[in-house]
């Protein structure tokens, strides 16, 4: 949960997700859309992969990245649900440990 929000808290990484939402792409193809150097893109992709929102597949000497849509939507919906419920006055907020950290 923390990883997914950290992953999304970056304009370049959200842009990468936009591109991948259209179609899977190699690192180089993604990098062509940015002014950033490829190693930087590579690390952004690693962060997104760590968060589970993209996956990588070796395709010869290329690395193909694609979106893990249900991971993205699922995690965010899970986070949102309690707040939606509260907005409608239906239930209490989702359970979370209270008290000292």
Rounded distance, CA 64 to CA 57, Å? 5
Give CA angle at 27 (59, 39), nearest 5°: 130
Rounded distance, CA 23 to CA 28, Å? 14
Binders in 55-74 for DNA, by CB under 7 A: 56, 58, 60-63
Q: Is 33 in the site for DNA (CB under 7 A)?
A: no
Cβ proximity to DNA: between 33 and 85 the closer is 33
Q: Is 38 in the site for DNA (CB under 7 A)?
A: yes
Binders in 32-71 for its own copies, by CB under 8 A: 33-36, 67, 69-70
Contacted by 42, from DNA, its own copies, none: CB < 5 to 8 Å by type? DNA
Q: Is 35 in the site for DNA (CB under 7 A)?
A: yes
Rounded distance, CA 47 to CA 3, Å? 8
Are 98 and 83 in contact by the 8 Å Cβ rule? The answer is: no
Are 52 and 3 in contact by the 8 Å Cβ rule? The answer is: yes
Interaction site with DNA (CB under 7 A) = 6, 10, 12-13, 26-28, 31, 35-40, 42-47, 56, 58, 60-63
């Amino acid at each position: 949960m923390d990883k997914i929000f950290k992953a999304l808290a970056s304009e370049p990484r959200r842009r990468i997700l936009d591109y991948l939402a259209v179609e899977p792409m190699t690192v180089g193809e993604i990098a062509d859309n940015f002014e950033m150097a490829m190693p930087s893109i590579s690390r952004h992709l690693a962060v997104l992969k760590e968060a589970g929102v993209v996956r990588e597949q070796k395709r010869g000497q290329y690395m193909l990245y694609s979106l893990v849509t249900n991971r993205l939507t699922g995690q965010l919906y899970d986070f949102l649900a309690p707040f939606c419920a509260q907005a409608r006055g239906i239930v209490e907020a989702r359970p979370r440990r209270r008290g000292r950290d």
